[in-house]
């Protein structure tokens, strides 16, 4: 359980630590720095020691935020308007067919100037990042403006997006200009951005440094490898970002609950969802800088599409008791309709008659020499599921999300099949479970580096072992031989 600063005890069978940027939080604005959580919230100062007392090493990371400025102090005529999406795609699959007619508020695009860069260069000595006060490493993919000016010194301008904070506030978020320079320097920089000449600050930009753990001490369930029922999730695991944190919180919550019930952990692997890629990267490779989830980190991107997230994950959620019967039934129905339509299209045969070839010409497609199924015809880049209606006039009108799946699955069939073969190979190694208590010094033939890394990371599968940096394919072969020998030895006993 948990004991609070006031001495109150909360008894529980499992604990999930999700302290965000509050743990040992320290805010930096130029020469000023003080203990604080984000946005002036109270930091968490005692917990770091009790985590360290458990033998868990903590390290510093940092992140930052730009200033918020007054909406009416901006000259939008000097900026490019950035309207919202023409077609609003809802987040939930349950809302796919809903029509949205919302008055959207636009963002604006502007740029930093040479004059702004000069002020940054002149004041670098006052930046706690460059003067060495901040020891924490910041996120590579959301650098501060001073970081960008130093690292990309050949650029004479950087993009700045002006984003409304909400409908009921005058605050505007100045995306791309986070900074830990002193407030008066920040104001000078912002005033040299096109359209911000008369800008009025409402909140200053700042950097925040916080404590995080090395996530390789965790299992894939996000439970500590040695301390049972202690879980970690979110920023404390070295990630940064809302979705990254939410995904881990969900998985830690599910696994804490399963642990308490004495059930097997719930793992999403790298081929099943981005959650799997995120957690596997963190617990297998660790991270020296705030980790952000990007699609490029996934090797099975063709399968991990946002349009098929419901088809990939709803069943898993249902089995865990987290998805309602209604939602589950809808997904099953959707899957059936997609498969039925794919089968139907395979059965429609288009023969090379004058009429069909003329129709193909109309679609700017080459004439047929042999009969083909409509399914095959839709594979042609110039023919879409919609335009193929001329060959299939009695087609039943299907929901847009089903039409989209049908078209995607047909067009990318070849690539998806190839990826499925790779996924099968991946699963073979992934399904070879490794006992986390294996004594790797007994595995003869491992390189020294592999021995050290395997002993430290304690992978839970051969697949996970193969992704540890420093563990080579030949180490994996040695490991497979060892497992085989152990299996035979065990079967002889």
Ligand X SMILES: Cc1cc2nc3c(=O)[nH]c(=O)nc-3n(C[C@H](O)[C@H](O)[C@H](O)COP(=O)(O)OP(=O)(O)OC[C@H]3O[C@@H](n4cnc5c(N)ncnc54)[C@H](O)[C@@H]3O)c2cc1C
CB of 17 to ligand X, least distance (A): 8
- Binding region for ligand X (CB under 6 A) out of 91-99, 233-241, 272-280, 470-478: 233-241
Binding flag, residue 19, ligand X (CB under 6 A): yes
Distance of CA 421 to the CA centre of its chain: 24
Residue 234 Cβ vs ligand X, minimum distance, rounded to whole Å: 2
Residue number with CB closer to ligand X (65 or 461): 65
Q: Is 240 in the site for ligand X (CB under 6 A)?
A: yes
Helix (H) or strand (E) segment spanning residue 207: strand 206-213
Q: How far is the CB of 306 from ligand X (least distance, A)?
A: 17
Contact call for residues 231 and 15 (beta carbons, < 8 A): yes
* Burial class of residue 209 (count of CB atoms within 10 Å of its CB; 0-12, 13-18, 19+): buried
Per CB under 6 A, 208 contacts ligand X: yes
Among 38, 253, 265, 352, binds ligand X (CB under 6 A): 38
Region binding ligand X by CB under 6 A among candidate stretches 16-24, 52-60, 68-76, 219-227: 16-24
Contacts of 305 (CB under 8 A, 6+ apart): 408
% helix, strand, coil for the chain, step of 5: 45, 15, 40
CB-nearer residue toward ligand X: 47 or 350: 47
Q: Smallest gap, in angstroms, from Cβ of residue 55 to ligand X? A: 19
CB of 236 to ligand X, least distance (A): 6
Q: Closest separation between CB of residue 37 and ligand X, Å?
A: 6
Residue 185 in contact with ligand X, rule: CB under 6 A: no
Residues 6 or more apart from 492 whose CB is under 8 A from it?
none
* Smallest separation (angstroms) from ligand X to the CB of 409: 31
CA–CA distance, 307 with 44 (Å, rounded to integer):
39
36 binds ligand X (CB under 6 A): no
392 and 344 in contact (C-beta within 8 Å)?
no
What 112-115 contacts at long range (C-beta under 8 Å, 24+ apart), as own/partner pairs, is 112/145, 112/157, 112/158, 112/160, 112/177, 112/189, 112/192, 112/193, 113/157, 113/192, 113/193, 113/194, 114/156, 114/157, 115/192
Residue number with the smallest Cβ distance to ligand X: 20
CB 419 within 8 A of CB 300: yes
Query: Quick one: 22 or 385, whose CB is closer to ligand X?
Result: 22
Segment interacting with ligand X, rule: CB under 6 A, options 84-92, 240-248, 358-366, 402-410: 240-248
Residues in contact with ligand X, shown as a per-residue x/- string from 63 to 92 under the rule CB under 6 A: x-x---------------------------
C-alpha 478, offset from chain centre: 33
234: left (phi over 0), alpha (psi -120 to 50) or beta: left
Q: For the CB of residue 206, give the shortest distance to ligand X in the complex, in Å.
A: 7
Given candidates 14, 21, 273, 385, which one binds ligand X under the rule CB under 6 A? 21
- Which residues make up the interface to ligand X (CB under 6 A)? 18-23, 38, 44, 47, 63, 65, 208, 234-235, 240-242, 245, 249
């Amino acid at each position: 359980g948990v004991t609070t600063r006031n001495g109150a005890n909360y008894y529980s069978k499992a604990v999930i630590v999700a302290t965000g940027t509050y743990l040992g939080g320290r805010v930096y604005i130029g020469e000023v720095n003080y203990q604080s959580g984000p946005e002036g919230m109270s930091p968490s100062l005692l917990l770091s020691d009790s985590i360290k007392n458990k033998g868990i090493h903590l390290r510093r990371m940092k992140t930052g935020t730009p200033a918020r400025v007054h909406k009416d102090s901006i000259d939008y005529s000097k900026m490019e308007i950035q309207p919202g999406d023409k077609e609003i795609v809802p987040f939930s699959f349950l809302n796919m067919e809903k029509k949205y007619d919302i008055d959207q508020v636009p963002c604006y695009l502007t740029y930093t100037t040479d004059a702004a860069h000069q002020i940054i260069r002149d004041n670098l000595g006052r930046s706690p990042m460059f003067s060495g006060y901040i020891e924490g490493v910041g996120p590579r993919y959301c650098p501060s403006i001073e970081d960008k000016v130093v690292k990309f010194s050949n650029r004479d301008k950087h993009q700045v997006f002006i984003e409304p904070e909400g409908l009921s506030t005058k605050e505007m978020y100045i995306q791309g200009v986070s900074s830990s320079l002193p407030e008066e320097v920040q104001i000078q920089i912002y005033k040299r951005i096109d359209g911000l000449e008369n800008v009025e600050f409402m909140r200053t930009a700042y950097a925040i440094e916080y404590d995080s753990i090395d996530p390789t001490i965790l299992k894939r369930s996000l439970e500590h490898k040695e301390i049972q029922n202690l879980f970690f999730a979110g920023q404390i695991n070295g990630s940064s970002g809302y979705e990254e944190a939410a995904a881990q919180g969900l998985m830690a919550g599910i696994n804490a609950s399963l642990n308490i019930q004495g059930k097997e952990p719930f793992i999403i692997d790298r081929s099943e969802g981005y959650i799997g890629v995120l957690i596997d990267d963190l617990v297998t490779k660790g991270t020296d800088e705030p980790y952000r989830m990007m699609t490029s980190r996934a090797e099975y991107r063709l399968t991990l599409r946002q349009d098929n997230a419901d088809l990939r994950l709803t069943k898993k959620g249902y089995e865990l008791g987290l998805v309602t019967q209604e939602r589950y039934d809808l997904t099953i129905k959707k899957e059936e309709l997609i498969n039925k339509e794919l089968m139907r299209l395979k059965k429609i045969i288009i023969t090379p008659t004058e009429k069909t070839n003329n129709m193909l010409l109309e679609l700017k497609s080459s004439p047929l020499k042999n009969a083909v199924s409509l399914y095959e015809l839709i594979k042609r880049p110039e023919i879409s599921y919609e335009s193929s209606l001329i060959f299939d006039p009695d087609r039943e009108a299907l929901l847009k999300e089903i039409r989209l799946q049908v078209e995607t699955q047909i067009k990318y069939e070849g690539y998806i099949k190839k990826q499925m073969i790779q996924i099968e190979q991946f699963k073979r190694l992934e399904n070879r479970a490794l006992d986390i208590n294996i004594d790797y010094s007994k595995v003869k033939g491992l390189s020294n580096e592999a021995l050290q890394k395997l002993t430290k990371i304690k992978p839970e599968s051969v697949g996970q072992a193969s992704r540890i940096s420093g563990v080579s394919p030949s180490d994996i072969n040695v490991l497979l031989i060892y497992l085989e020998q152990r299996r035979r030895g065990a079967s002889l006993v």
